Structure 1
Amino acid sequence: MFPYRNGWTTKKVGWFACGNLAERAPNLAAKIQGKPDNNAIATFIKANAEHFSSVGTRVVMGRGIRAADTADSQHVAVVNKEFVKQMFKPGENPIGQHFGWDEKAAGDWEIVGVVENTAY
């Protein structure tokens, strides 16, 4: 837990990779569409279609980033298992769920895959 935004306390929930994410700060608020705000922060990495295979990270649900995931396509994200554990109820499927940086943008990114936890 660490302080964030006007004295709120946040929790680090894991990371996500996006194939079409513009350059931003490495830690961003994460808000799942239709769920209450849990003051979560996630680290992002910008990835391409070869990213997970090149670093030896296994996709455990859904799919990884594809070459077709570009700045002009639907915004997609692959999250790690820790992100799923912190942001969803046990057994809840994250694939197809949407998230963003705040309530207004909570539908901006669609989760298309989950990868194992790994250190970067």
Structure 2
Amino acid sequence: MLTFGDWPYGDTPVVVLSRRTLEVPAVLAATVEVMACPPVELIERLAQRGAKHLYIDGGQTIQGFLRAGLIQQLIITRVPILIGSGIPLFGALLHDIRWRHMATQTFANGLVQSRYERIG
């Protein structure tokens, strides 16, 4: 994210999940924190701080939260670029997870964003 130019999250608290030791730049130290814990523990810690809605991103992170049953809403944004490799957004799951389509929005730059809510 640091290579994107201006920090897009402003003063919004950001938690970076990583198994590696990461150094947060001093300019972001007031809002960015690094944690290494399972999804359930992260949710508990952040709930104690008053967090109610979390934005979860990253293939392996999303997969862990899905396996733990901790995602109630998906917002999937499709970008008109095919990426040749990387970590899949959705990996193998223990069982199917059903979702209800709530809305889809298109943007002039070609992005298509769909919102789904978990129904089971």
TM-score for both structures, normalised by structure 1: 0.27
Q: As a proportion of its length, which structure holds more strand?
A: 1
TM-score for both structures, normalised by structure 2: 0.27
Greater RCO, CA 8 A, separation 6+:
1
Q: As a proportion of its length, which structure holds more helix?
A: 2
Which of structures 1 and 2 has the bigger CA Rg? Answer: 2
